A and B are shown apart, each in its own frame.
Chain A
Amino acid sequence: MSAIGLPLAFRRRTLPGFSLSLGFTLFYLTSLVLVPLLALLIRPWSLGFEGFWDAVTAPRVLASLRLSFGSAIAAAAIDSVFGLIIAWVLVRYRFPGKGLLDALIDLPFALPTAVAGIALSTLYAPSGWIGSILAEYGIKIAYTPWGVLVAMTFIALPFSVRTIQPVLADMGKDAEEAAATLGATRLQTIFRVALPMILPAILTGAAMAFARAVGEYGSIIFIAGNMPGISQIAPLMIVIKLEQYDYRGAAAIGVVMLAASFIMLLALNGLQAWAAKRR
């Protein structure tokens, strides 16, 4: 057969439809994703590296990047702690209504961000249910950077819970039983055995929560206040630059955010590899 000379990858396949499906897939991806991304990667450099650097280190831009990244880290940390507790409760405990609790976790994932945005803004405003209670203690959330943190915590929670949950469920109790027979108390077992075993999942969940939160827009802009230099997130800076027809500046910020996503993706892959090695 004439196919013998071809590299293995391109010989005739047993199943039909390879070239059609792969071809369509590549076409779709190239036109929708790769080409526009290319535009993003090229644009910031039209005035050279200096132009890029100036665009990115302008005070307002820097402040917005600091706010987006800083809040996302904090939100990921909060979501990791509470996500772990929620996953633990969902996997290890039995109680009426657990199914409902489980289903609710996906809410930030399914709810449109604008809906979440106006709801959170109303809730934490001085006249809102929560905002009014906090106001009595002099705490302001809405229209301050704290609002950004609250919105990010909301939006990223499912990423933490849903990453830890299956790992915890699969873990089995052998190791914990062994620890008990060796004389460990329940608390010792949890901290010395169970938690270290799910640490990779906790970190992965934190990374995914961060990635989601750092680029979030819709659920934040209503509650944030959007004051220049104080409570403007990076995606908002992009929108502002576009409205000013500063395509280059907008693209510069976009590239920074894309780089952050890329690094996060690498970190995640690294985490998976580390976890797999321990098996």
Chain B
Amino acid sequence: MSTSLLQRSPEGGREFDPYFVPDDWARLQYGRLLWRSARTRERLLAHWSDPRHPYAERFLARYRPLVERLLESEEADNERLDAELRAEGHSLRTIMREIPPVFGDFY
């Protein structure tokens, strides 16, 4: 694993990582899990596209393809994805943060 990813992910050297946000990693881990089923995938997409969702506008306008790319990947892909995203001006961490949360009152 590259040193740069180690510094940014909790997979190693976590105590030195000021950017570790458990909620971001939870949205990635469980988003990937629920993405496997067409039913829950559609439900998430409908929720994230709902005009009441605070992320909806930027999700639909900009981040949907990148978020989908993350959710279609697996944990073992993290390092490769991070490198690819960095080459495109993003990073695993910044796109992970664009996975919209779920709001229980209209999910």
* Mutual binders A and B: no
Residues of chain B having any CB pair with chain A under 8 Å:
none
